[in-house]
Structure 1
């Protein structure tokens, strides 16, 4: 039966230095006192992953259903502007703007709803005020001068606002607000034949948009809220385990000694590929999280930008794991039986890397301080040095293949050390609690 290494902490009450192997009585001595290696069947490990994936999918489906119900509730509430005569007499046909506001503003995450709602409100107010000013000014001029002022104001304001949408910082945070500003300004200017009509139109539209926004915020924040900050936090922590599992599979595949049919089995690096393609989603979640109020463990001015730095480092590590996968499949690699010269040293480094990644991920998930300089970095550096000392000579293409494998493992050591330091910095800024490590 094929086996895959799963690193788990085991508290040994006897204080010995032995690693226990599940499913057998074999024991071997190790210098690692703070973690042990347990072996489980590949089929059993896959079954666990499938069950976890099914549970996550079910949870996400439930969240989507709740979000759909919330949107339906919001639309019912704003529809009362049309159905109730007292409200309809106040806003008239502009009640449609409240419905439009709910449709375009209500997002899955509370931070996204707040972001779009505030952007829409500010864009409407500023665009409406400038539009009213331009319309009133044009109304004071006779004949073609009025049309000339309207045309010039539309050209200058719209061109300047459109250019600002191309600035990366504005596009990332305020693109929707600028778009609403352009729309509102043009609608108010063009429709402003008389000053009193312009003011009445702007007041009614702003009123209905405010009603729609208030309904969205009330339901989004108070009825089973979905926080972008929580999603970014949990997804960042989960990426560590994805990379650790992919690395674990690569190590097992490389040192597998089996018949030809079984040796064709390949390690699953889909988790690393998912991490590589997560940048845009992370940036969106971080942007939405900055708009969210204090909730749960996350207060005001929480360092969400640190999550983006950690995500970038994770993508570099994921790319290295994928490169390791390509190295394994290279024709320059020696036969599985010839790889024993580096097996012990590489497995020690790999096991330490997997353990370190999962420890760092747990540190983020539980918001516990990860002291990289005291616990993780010295261990990784020691393993890296041992790995280099055990494979210094390259005399053949097969030696080159193994040297490449060793080089990539050592590169991962450097990247995991960087990750541990970044997570430690996040913990210091965000006020993570102290986490006790076994010595």
Structure 2
């Protein structure tokens, strides 16, 4: 038998080819590794550069968006740079004004500290700085002259004076009425200590005080001119727009609360940001939250606006800016009811969707009328126009009365009528009180069924059986002997679990009736609707105070009458000047 040469040949060829391929692959791997070693050093650097570039680009676009949100910020920044550049030119002065360049830093510091976003804030800080410097300079000059007359007791007099001034000024600025002048007290302390200490060394107290005061006046003057004459930003205008914005926010929140309640909106878990009063994604919550938190901002803007001269639509000396704060306070008083309404939506005990639909039309009408009043008041403040007629609350009151009548007619849906006690009570003798307490309910329950049949209305078209237990209650108690249904796990930072009330008891139920504990839960669920409706009616009642505050503002600020036509205005320049300076 001849050997199979072809088979041997093919086998040897395959072995040789496989060995060659393995060597080629090993060579390629070595080449790749050799190429990756130098590139690996650059990969980290390249990735770092890319990440840095991405961060820079993100920061740049965020700055662009920030500038687009309020273009006035760019203008304010340019004005600040211009004022600093002008004041810094004092450093280049030559004789005979070279001494000014030595103390030019005070003018620069004045611009940095005094130059604020609004004209009113700039005037307020400038006045405080000037008054503090002038007062401290005069007192420091007197103390320095007195200390020099005492001879060797001069250091002691200076130290005692600094202690007295520091303690007295600090105590005075803590007084509530002195809060607007807190910055002035700080400037007083700085100037007083600086003049006394430097004057003790150089013996040029008067020269130091006068030079410092003049440079502060110069820096403040530059700030006033640039900030007040070049695209001025008014604190009064910001206050005006803030009040208008708050009216819109409350109207939107109220409308969202009613719509969400009628649509059956329920929360199994409340976002933790809402529980801690932080900004959240809920538009209803954000609407009233901004109004509640704007109280401090309104007071601050009112304080700055009182420093501003007549301008624009506010052409009155002593413009009634405090009335804006009063209107904001009245609006905030109504906002608390919106907050409570939203709290009803977030609460665990909820009325059933069927019960809410029984009063749907009345709730929607009250909501529509209330939001209409808020938007009308906001638009009138924005346009600085008085109300047309005095019947703005007429429709709101009618809607609230209809809701109250509907609740009275369907009150049996809101309580557990089986426990009603109707009829004449027995006369209780004091000695029998303890015995009759236990027997009273038992004696009166005998006629309860007949009394209920005589009291309740006959079924009508819209009187259908209403299940007063909410879906959330059923979900917690639908499994007998088992705890509440577990809710899907969510990040702890985003949601906080509500306290469970009522407690999740196991229900050993008789199919014919509920146990008293479950009947209590049923009544609580139904009464939650009564709470919601009561809060809405209270909101209507608080609108009266809001309208009165608006009327006072419109009278003191001399808002336009709604019947005035633009053509009736006088266009003469003399008349315009008289209107501009009218008292």
Q: Same fold (TM over 0.5)?
A: yes
1:397 pairs with 2:524: yes
1:293 pairs with 2:309: yes
Stretches of 4+ aligned residues off by more than 4 angstroms:
56-60, 257-261, 264-267
On the 8 A contact 1:317/1:415 being kept in 2, the answer is yes
Q: Deviations over 1:219-245 (max 9, x none)?
A: 000111100000001110110010100
CA distance in structure 2 between the partners assigned to 1:100 and 1:60 by the alignment = 30
Counting only pairs closer than 5 Å after superposition, residues 23-172 of structure 1 correspond to structure 2 as: 60-86=69-95, 88-143=97-152, 145-171=153-179
Q: Deviations over 1:124-174 (max 9, x none)?
A: 00011101110111011110x212221222222221111111011111x11
C-alpha spacing 1:289/1:87, structure 2 compared with 1 (3 Å): farther
Q: Deviations over 1:179-225 (max 9, x none)?
A: 10111111112222279600000111111111100110000001111
Name the residue aligned to 1:270.
286
Name the residue aligned to 2:558.
431
CA distance in structure 2 between the partners assigned to 1:134 and 1:290 by the alignment = 35
Q: CA deviation at 1:176?
A: 0.5
CA distance in structure 2 between the partners assigned to 1:295 and 1:198 by the alignment = 42
1:355 pairs with 2:363: no
SS at match of 1:432: coil
SS at match of 2:391: helix
On the 8 A contact 1:139/1:146 being kept in 2, the answer is yes
C-alpha spacing 1:87/1:220, structure 2 compared with 1 (3 Å): farther
On the 8 A contact 1:368/1:433 being kept in 2, the answer is yes
Q: Deviations over 1:282-339 (max 9, x none)?
A: 1111110011111112222111111222222222222221210111233332222331
Deviates more, 1:81-90 or 1:340-349: 81-90
Which residue of the other structure, out of 346, 351, 376, is the alignment partner of 1:329? 346
Which residue of the other structure, out of 194, 204, 212, is the alignment partner of 2:211? 204
Name the residue aligned to 2:517.
none
On the 8 A contact 1:253/1:266 being kept in 2, the answer is no
Q: CA deviation at 1:86?
A: 4.7
Name the residue aligned to 2:470.
none
On the 8 A contact 1:81/1:88 being kept in 2, the answer is no
Where structure 1 has 5 or more consecutive residues not aligned to the other structure, the ranges are 1-55
Which residue of the other structure, out of 178, 189, 208, is the alignment partner of 1:182? 189
Which residue of the other structure, out of 253, 263, 275, is the alignment partner of 1:256? 263
Give the number of equivalent residue pairs: 378
CA distance in structure 1 between the partners assigned to 2:167 and 2:240 by the alignment = 39
1:385 pairs with 2:428: no
Counting only pairs closer than 5 Å after superposition, residues 406-421 of structure 1 correspond to structure 2 as: 406-421=533-548
On the 8 A contact 1:371/1:424 being kept in 2, the answer is no
Which residue of the other structure, out of 370, 376, 381, is the alignment partner of 2:387? 370
- What is the TM-score of this pair, normalised by structure 2? 0.62
Name the residue aligned to 1:214.
221
C-alpha spacing 1:378/1:260, structure 2 compared with 1 (3 Å): closer
Q: CA deviation at 1:85?
A: 2.2
On the 8 A contact 1:123/1:181 being kept in 2, the answer is yes
Q: CA deviation at 1:355?
A: 0.2
CA distance in structure 2 between the partners assigned to 1:159 and 1:424 by the alignment = 46
SS at match of 1:296: coil
CA distance in structure 1 between the partners assigned to 2:552 and 2:105 by the alignment = 49
Q: Deviations over 1:394-439 (max 9, x none)?
A: 31333311111111111111222211110111001110111259xx
Name the residue aligned to 1:5.
none
On the 8 A contact 1:317/1:416 being kept in 2, the answer is yes
On the 8 A contact 1:246/1:321 being kept in 2, the answer is yes
C-alpha spacing 1:59/1:293, structure 2 compared with 1 (3 Å): farther
Q: Deviations over 1:334-383 (max 9, x none)?
A: 222331221111111110000000001111111111368x1223332222
Cα RMSD over matched residues?
A: 2.5
Name the residue aligned to 2:297.
281
C-alpha spacing 1:60/1:203, structure 2 compared with 1 (3 Å): farther
C-alpha spacing 1:191/1:260, structure 2 compared with 1 (3 Å): closer
CA distance in structure 1 between the partners assigned to 2:402 and 2:372 by the alignment = 17
SS at match of 1:368: coil
SS at match of 1:414: helix
Where structure 2 has 5 or more consecutive residues not aligned to the other structure, the ranges are 1-64, 272-280, 416-522, 565-583
CA distance in structure 2 between the partners assigned to 1:296 and 1:335 by the alignment = 54
CA distance in structure 1 between the partners assigned to 2:283 and 2:132 by the alignment = 51
On the 8 A contact 1:135/1:195 being kept in 2, the answer is no
Structure label with greater radius of gyration: 2
C-alpha spacing 1:176/1:267, structure 2 compared with 1 (3 Å): closer
Name the residue aligned to 2:362.
345
On the 8 A contact 1:161/1:178 being kept in 2, the answer is yes
CA distance in structure 2 between the partners assigned to 1:179 and 1:78 by the alignment = 23
